[in-house]
Amino acid sequence: MSPRELLVLIIRDHGLRSSLIGRLSLRGENLLTIERDPQDPELARLARPPAILIIDTEILGDRLPALRQGSHWEAIVVLAPSAETVSDDNRVRVLDRQHALAQLTETLDHWREQQPE
């Protein structure tokens, strides 16, 4: 992952969304915040790859398998009531929303360190 991939935030909780926007903006991240179905075809036009989807479980619903199968998202971060392991897919992380500010930046840094130069 490059340091400037687009981070697409689809988060229902306004306070959490605002906090993440502030933290990520201070880091110089490229952000798009939108209220849209993550499988909306227009989103593919607005959020061109490389893009990372950051979404909460309320909006995600049962769409994770379909989103993982597609090639549009370089990675997916799900903000949930508690952290969990989804699979061995390194492109998907489920983070505890109470610790999302710290865990999200750590996750992005970890993914970027893993990328070949």
- pTM of the predicted structure, to 2 decimals: 0.90
Residue 117: the pLDDT is 58
Higher pLDDT, 113 or 115: 113
Average pLDDT of span 5-14: 95
Q: Distance between CA atoms of 75 and 110, rounded to whole angstroms? A: 12
Whether residue 95 is predicted with pLDDT greater than 70 in this model: the reply is yes
Whether residue 103 is predicted with pLDDT greater than 90 in this model: the reply is yes
Average pLDDT of span 29-44: 90
Q: Distance between CA atoms of 117 and 17, rounded to whole angstroms? A: 31
Domains of the chain (ranges plus CATH)?
6-114 (3.40.50.2300)
Q: How confident is the model at residue 25 (pLDDT cuts 50, 70, 90)?
A: very high
What angle separates helix 14-26 from helix 100-114, to the nearest 10 degrees? 40
